Amino acid sequence: MTTDTSYYWMPFTANRQFKARPRMMKSALGMHYFAEDGRPVLDGTAGLWCVNAGHGHPMITEAVAQQARVMDFAPPFQMGHEGAFEAARSLALMAPEGLNRVFFCNSGSEAVDTALKMALAYHRMRGDSLRTRLIGRERGYHGVGFGGIAVGGIAGNRKHFGPALPGVDHLRHPLDIARNAFSRGLPEQGAEIADEFEQRLLALHDPATVAALIVEPVQGSTGVIIPPKGYLQKLRAICDKYGILLIFDEVITGFGRLGTAFAADYFGVVPDMICCAKGLTNAMVPMGAVIAKQAIHDTFMEAAPENAIEFYHGYTYSGHPLACAAAIATLEVYHSERMFARAAEKAPAFEEAAHALRKAPYVKDVRNLGLVCGIELEPIPGRPTARAYEVFERCFWEQNVLIRTTGDIIALSPPLIIDDTQIERLFDAITRVLRSMAD
Ligand SMILES: Cc1ncc(COP(=O)(O)O)c(C=O)c1O
């Protein structure tokens, strides 16, 4: 094995800092990684919000190995294979009612760009070509494609790359620590911020020019921002009033994170499209998807001549046989092992343990929903991000626990199979580290 770390340019990583003391994983099973030195490391992040069924699930592993032996690849343009149709069917059956047409891609970023293009093309095919604007949200993360960074609201992901897409605007995000600190579940205050969509943005741009609004039901990557009660319902109502498509980016919230198949189910708000990825294959093979309402799909079918391609979009690896095998097996595992219900059953213990951190040093907010929580720390004056990064490093090296941080926020999203003892261990590790930092 090479120990030369110089060739690999790592994504979203402080490369020089990492390479000075590499944090290397060697294998993974169930709730644990095993580091290069053999230490088991409790996975508090489901890899990167994606290994929802736990690592190395034998049914998924076997399905992928079996598919690799039978057929490695089939061209997805003008050709098909059974697995793609089966995977689409399984996903459609799991999705909220009415969302039943599935377009495959390879990642969350691609799912987002696919959904945005689908929204623009849908309006055009209906003869409404005025609708070209896209609305996202501050602190939204929608991957790293040009569409995704345009509707996304993270300055660091945008500032080096020019204007991305024209005609994009952003809602304010609903995080309001002053009013909602230490909320358990959905915050009480702040649904009215959704009204700004109508009163400010649509008033400014003319609702007739807006194609779609894209939001993460729970904003994950920028530190777990949980929508206040009634907020998503308001966004849905405004979209309905003005004929604007509502896209839920469920790349993180999909597949049981909130104790339901999708956040749409949890909130009882049905969008027009869902972007998903990550947990779709339990991350064993990369895959993303857009699940669209049938009416959107049918508009494409009806607008194009019989023998014409209806949507000029797709990827070489759309519906890749290995990804489809992984998806079919993963969705079956979620179902047969009741994993979403299990996550819902574990959520109260997770919430209790998370909020016990309130007493730990530097903690200025704890917010949680289902099996996700954010712990916001007081930054070290003049050194933003340094406090949380130190917790992350020390959890890994000293406590054998993997957490994730963004800014000065710790985000936890363990595999859905976490048990009570592991929940305790996870939060205990963070408490110990924070206490020792205050000593
Ligand atoms: C909400 C959301 N959308 C899109 C993405 C991008 O997914 P990917 O990294 O697979 O492109 C992510 C990744 O974390 C995400 O959280």
pLDDT one-digit tens code per residue, 84-132: 999 999 999 999 999 999 999 999 999 999 999 999 999 999 999 999 9
| Distance from the alpha carbon of residue 438 to the mean position of ligand 1, in angstroms | 34
Q: Give the CA angle between residues 51, 53, 58 to the nearest 5°.
A: 105
Helix (H), strand (E) at residue 41: strand 40-43
Listed residue (239, 247, 170) closest to 214, CA to CA: 247
Which residues does a 6 A CB cutoff place in the pocket of ligand 1? 107-109, 112, 141-143, 216, 220-221, 249, 251-252, 277
At 3 the pLDDT is: 78
Probe target for ligand 1 pocket from 48, 216, 221, with the most ligand atoms within 8 Å of CB: 221
Probe target for ligand 1 pocket from 139, 251, 252, with the most ligand atoms within 8 Å of CB: 251
Query: Residue 235: CA atoms inside 13 Å, Cβ hemisphere, count?
Result: 34
| Distance from the alpha carbon of residue 108 to the mean position of ligand 1, in angstroms | 4
Helix (H), strand (E) at residue 433: helix 420-438
| Distance from the alpha carbon of residue 150 to the mean position of ligand 1, in angstroms | 14
Mean pLDDT score, 173-189:
98
Atom 7, ligand 1: residue with shortest CA distance: 108
* The pLDDT of residue 189 is above 60: yes
At 307 the pLDDT is: 94
Task: Tell me the H-state helices in 215-371.
Answer: 231-242, 263-267, 294-303, 321-336, 339-356
* The pLDDT of residue 251 is above 90: yes
- 240 pLDDT band, cuts 50/70/90, is very high
Number of other residues whose CB lies within 10 A of the CB of residue 306? 5
| Distance from the alpha carbon of residue 240 to the mean position of ligand 1, in angstroms | 26
* The pLDDT of residue 20 is above 60: yes
- 439 pLDDT band, cuts 50/70/90, is confident
- 163 pLDDT band, cuts 50/70/90, is confident
Q: Running DSSP on this structure, what letter comes out for residue 351?
A: H
The minimum-distance atom of ligand 1 relative to the CA of 221 is: 16
The pLDDT tens digits for 342-390 are: 999 999 999 999 999 999 999 999 999 999 999 999 999 999 999 999 9
At 2 the pLDDT is: 57
Helix (H, G, I), strand (E, B) or coil at 265: helix
Listed residue (187, 193, 184) closest to 234, CA to CA: 193
CA 288 to CA 36: how far, in whole Å? 30
At 360 the pLDDT is: 98
The minimum-distance atom of ligand 1 relative to the CA of 250 is: 1
β-bridge pairing 210-215 and 99-105:
unpaired
CA 20 to CA 153: how far, in whole Å? 31
* The pLDDT of residue 133 is above 80: yes
Check: CB of residue 249 under 8 Å from CB of residue 214. yes
* The pLDDT of residue 1 is above 70: no
The pLDDT tens digits for 209-218 are: 999 999 999 9
CA 280 to CA 286: how far, in whole Å? 9
Mean pLDDT score, 222-235:
98
The minimum-distance atom of ligand 1 relative to the CA of 278 is: 10
| Distance from the alpha carbon of residue 360 to the mean position of ligand 1, in angstroms | 31
End-to-end CA distance of the chain: 40
Mean pLDDT score, 282-309:
97
At 190 the pLDDT is: 97
| pLDDT mean across residues, the chain | 97
